[in-house]
Amino acid sequence: MEKITANHFITDDKTDKVYMSSLIDKSTGDLDADVRSQLKNCIRHFARKSELLYNTKDVWARDYMPIQLTKDVYLSYTYKPDYLQDIPECITNWQLHKVRNQRQYTNDEHFDFKVVHIPLILDGGNVIKATVNNKPCIIMCDKVLQENNINYEDFQNWWKNWWEENFDGTEMELVLLPWEGSKDNPIGHADGMVRYISDGQILMTNYLDYDEKFKDNHGSRIQLELEKAGFTVNRLHFMDKFEYETDKMFRLLFNKTWCYINFLQIGNSILLPSLGYEELDREAIKQVKEAFSNTGQKIKVELINIDMTNIVEDMNEGQNSGGALNCLTWTVKS
């Protein structure tokens, strides 16, 4: 395949179309029918171009659909997450199960793009595409090392060689973010940790709030890895805006505040999850806007018109549930 450069690497700001699983208004954990329907309608209203994906096995389209690298080339991988080992019926193989959009479903056709398969067990939600120092970059949680039974140094060497050999000498930068572990973060997806702003600029969720509350340094470790790779880290922060001990609503929602990083972005428009607490939602909007506008971008940030608290939490151990807007969607440059 041709060399991938920063100029034609498809990051979120270059996308213009959103897909959702057709299960979004049929099966999303314990949410009732009205909430599921509102969720779908809100996303469709936000996106100028949207379609449904058929033949999927669960609602989290980001995790099993291929990753768009350039306008015509997509990266496929082995979707076999350890957190679904007891519910294999929730695992979608987009090629084997012939996942398609509505038009293709009618005409019995498949997606028409080039696919390169990377020999990794991986989740799409654990891939953040970025650029740094004018080079394409992929950011992942280092849980990927455990899932593929490989150590850090061997993985780094293999990664460098694989991209060079398969994409005409491409230098695909790699950043591996430290994982909290299965107890605190069984999913281990980078899209619950950071999001791309612009070349060398990244937005991190409010990890430092958790560091302050739980006397941890995990957020600091993540920030250090990003800075070592050349990124300037912008961060969400709420502990200095809300009083944990006296603000009951903030205290109840604190463990769900990570969800604001899991927004849906199409081009220069961002749809932010809502936790149903107006003051907290408003502060999240303000901080996301500031992070992007500080780099000179004209970005539109709006709040979804539905309380997503229930879908953000892990509602049912027997289902693959818990996530927000980036998890629920698959975005591409059409």
CATH number (domain holding residue 42): 3.75.10.10
Confidence tier at 281 by pLDDT (50, 70, 90): very high
User: Is 183 part of any domain?
Assistant: yes
Q: What pTM value is reported for the model?
A: 0.95
List strand residue ranges (DSSP E) for the chain, in order. 17-21, 50-54, 67-68, 73-78, 100-101, 114-121, 128-132, 135-141, 173-177, 194-198, 201-204, 232-235, 264-266, 269-272, 300-303, 329-332
User: Is 1 part of any domain?
Assistant: no
Rounded-to-integer distance, Cα 66 and Cα 68, Å? 6
- For 62-83, what is the mean pLDDT? 96
Domain limits at 24? 6-332
Q: How many domains does the chain have?
A: 1
Q: 269: Cβ–Cβ under 8 A, 6 or more apart, which residues?
A: 46, 299, 300, 301, 302
User: Is 161 part of any domain?
Assistant: yes
Q: Is the pLDDT of residue 74 over 90?
A: yes
- For 308-312, what is the mean pLDDT? 87
The pLDDT value given to residue 315: 45
Write the pLDDT tens digit of every residue in 33-46: 788 889 999 999 99
What is the Cα gyration radius of the chain? 19
Torsion of CA 234, 121, 4, 114, to 10 degrees: -130
Closest CA to 230 of 152, 288, 192, 173: 173
User: Is 281 part of any domain?
Assistant: yes
User: Is 178 part of any domain?
Assistant: yes
User: Is 64 part of any domain?
Assistant: yes
The pLDDT value given to residue 318: 46
User: Is 141 part of any domain?
Assistant: yes
Give the least confident one: 93-102, 148-157, 162-171. Answer: 93-102
